[in-house]
Structure 1
Amino acid sequence: MDSLPQHNLQPVKLYVYDLSKGLARRLSPIMLGKQLEGIWHTSVVLYEEEFYFGGAGISSCPPGGTLLGPPDSVVDLGSTEVTEDIFMDYLTSLGESSFRAESYNLFEHNCNTFSNEVAQFLTGRKIPSYITDLPSEVLSTPFGQALRPILDSIQIQPPGGNTFSGHNGQS
């Protein structure tokens, strides 16, 4: 199989949002006894669309189009040769299997789990470990353990996106 020409490569970006808007940085030393830089929500931006996973399942919006506004940072994950059709089929299969709305869990199966899996599919690269390690950092503290029953019931779904319902709007 011939490799695709360079102009078919699509950039893949990771949008990173601090859901705490700076509060984690200020309060984590007091509450957790360790410094957290943020409470991270991530999404993958490809084909001029932002894709993320939350309590409603896989959703999408124009880049920066949720009520979270523009991301706090953007990580360049590289490029992909995956076509838009193949990517949409892949998202559809994820939405019907491992990333259904009811599979969401704040600590173990969240937006960052989704972004990490999608990034590896598209580029072979993982998202930064400071993002994926955050739940275990919080849970390693007495305060995190004490709050776990409450935090486990929380579902994060940034308002402003549309639930992804498959290729070409088919559900």
Structure 2
Amino acid sequence: MTALVSISDIHNGPDMDHCLAGFLAAKYNLSHKRFSLPELAGKPDLPAEELHQTLFEGGAAIDAAERLIAQIDVPSLLVGYSAGGTVGAMANSVVQIFEAQLFVSSTRLRHLTASHFKVPSLCLFGQHDDYQPKPDWHKEAQVERYEVAEYGHDFYKELPVESWAPLAEQFFELQG
């Protein structure tokens, strides 16, 4: 049975009403393990912006990736939100715990290289997300890319998940 893993953003979002992995798990009767990025980083009480700085300037992203590796016991499909997606990619580059990776507004991926994407990977960004990687990065990193028209970074918290779930269903090759 395919398992889904989701990793939240620094704000512990999205809520379950907007969680793509939760939606897919319910629709396809899949197991779903949701990880809180603040908890994976060992900083559950840190304000979001301080957490972001600690993750990427203080080395907590590496700690979070190690904690994630220790908690995944079956090959899974990843849905990573924002910084949570970047941590998932970092973990999977060390030990292949994911069979495929779907990154939602994971702008920090722009600092990673093709060596972090050894499995099929899809990046979704809002068209107006000013921090998304440049288009040539996707070619160099060998990942697929899709832009959600007319939205910014938080499209995954604003749009009904049903409206963009077909992208994930096709990417993960899920069939009902």
- Shorter chain as normaliser: what TM range? under 0.3
Larger fraction in helix: 2
Higher relative contact order (CA 8 A, sep 6+): 1
TM-score when scaled to structure 2? 0.27
Flag the structure with larger Rg: 1
